[in-house]
Chains A and B, each alone.
Chain A
Amino acid sequence: GAVVSQHPSWVICKSGTSVKIECRSLDFQATTMFWYRQFPKKSLMLMATSNEGSKATYEQGVEKDKFLINHASLTLSTLTVTSAHPEDSSFYICSASKGRNEQYFGPGTRLTVT
């Protein structure tokens, strides 16, 4: 199997606060993890790619100081949205790869910033 979990599944936070989202590969070691953002009725947009023990690679236009990514182990990556604003409200989805092209997606986290 290739199961990926995400926590929390939904979160509401106040503007200006930070929120952390965890992504775990439960039954395999992930060489690479990915973070996507999805607005309503839109496609998945890759935010960044992370490998265990190294700095994340951010896509063009994604602020690395606002979206902090830590890939502490081969089974855990975290995304921290710092100083959140209402425009950061979105559906955040992670995925994990065993080393080939296939990516296994987490269930997503719905973030609402009030």
Chain B
Amino acid sequence: GENVEQHPSTLSVQEGDSAVIKCTYSDSASNYFPWYKQELGKRPQLIIDIRSNVGEKKDQRIAVTLNKTAKHFSLHITETQPEDSAVYFCAASPNVLNAGGTSYGKLTFGQGTILTVHP
């Protein structure tokens, strides 16, 4: 099955600095790579995602890059703000067929990164 490694486990930056979180995956069949932000006791919130046919995607201060050959992808947050402080999870998803023949995307999550942005 898929295995996702995420680094660093904790990241502390000053407000205005950039933050980078990196993930590697093992299954070359994975074709969807979302990033989630989770605040304490809350549901994971999708902040950006990328599919395997794209190398980079940007949404305002957030960008994701994907290197399929090396099987790694990264989250970049620029001009960080204190409200960016949270736990960030990467995930990788291949398509899987269940016993009934239904195809679905199965997410495997990284271990998470605790991001702290100091004012």
List residues of chain A with CB under 8 Å of any chain B CB. Answer: 31-32, 34, 41-46, 49, 51, 54-55, 57, 91, 93, 95, 97, 99-103, 105-108, 110
Contact = CB atoms under 8 A, between A and B. Distances in A.
A102 B93 CA distance: 9
B43 interface: yes
Given A101-B31, A103-B105, A43 B43 contact: no
B3 interface: no
Contacts of A55: 99
Nearest to A95: B107
Interface string B78-112: 00000000000100010100111011111111111
Contact of A44 (B41, B42, B89, B99): B89
Interface of B: 31-32, 34, 41-46, 49, 51, 89, 93, 95, 98-100, 102-112
Given A99-B104, A101-B95, A43 B42 contact: no
A41 B38 CA distance: 11
A72 B106 CA distance: 21
Given A43-B111, A46-B107, A93-B43, 5 more contacts: A51-B100, A101-B107, A105-B45, A106-B43, A108-B43
B106 A49 contact: yes
Contact of B98 (A43, A44, A51, A93): A51
A46 B108 contact: yes
B42 A97 contact: no
Contacts of B32: 100-102
B57 to A, nearest CB: 14
